[in-house]
Amino acid sequence: MRRFPLALLLAATALVAAHVPAGAFVTDMVDPSTHLPLTPHPEALGQGAEQPRQNAIPRETVAYTGAYAPGTILISTTERRLYFVLPGGQAIRYGVGVGRPGFEWSGAKTITRKAEWPDWTPPAQMLRRRPDLPRHMAGGIENPLGARAMYLGSTLYRIHGSNEPDTIGQAVSSGCIRMTNEDVTDLYEHAKVGTKVVVLR
């Protein structure tokens, strides 16, 4: 094994430390326009498709200093994160999959229905794009909606689980917000019918 002089290692450590403020972590940095903690985009961390993204995006509690009330869901589609605002200046942050190019959207919606292990009936627009899809699929582990679904207003969009956890952190959906089954089950317990959902781009 090649050994480096101790003085050289100490100098390199000091150089790095000089460019990082004391106590600065990713969750301490805040986007001034949204007041959401900033996190690097998954690709910026070198997390390629060969790595298990569901392990790379842990659920965590972070500081929140924005104006939205506790109980609000904020989704940053560029960051690919969902925040559930808690009391006391905190939020639970989850990794999510979002709409692919051409299927991005933003705005404020409300959760109007919740379902456990929901059935899936692809909308007509999706069937025109993908005529190979089933016309109906009963809820279960193979169902694309996963373990839980929260329906957003009168739209076709949902926050739902996924049987493809490697897509979390990517832009691959038709506009729905995907989560791991573990994370969507956790969020499902926090969010109620009537919860405000704000989608940011």
Count of beta carbons in the 10 Å neighbourhood of residue 23: 6
The residue type found at 182 is E
Is the Cβ–Cβ distance between 67 and 35 less than 8 Å?
A: yes
Place of tokens 């060969």: 50
Which residue out of 19, 41, 176, 190 is catalytically annotated? 176
Which residue out of 19, 35, 41, 160 is catalytically annotated? 160
176 is catalytic: yes
Which residues are catalytic, by number?
160, 176
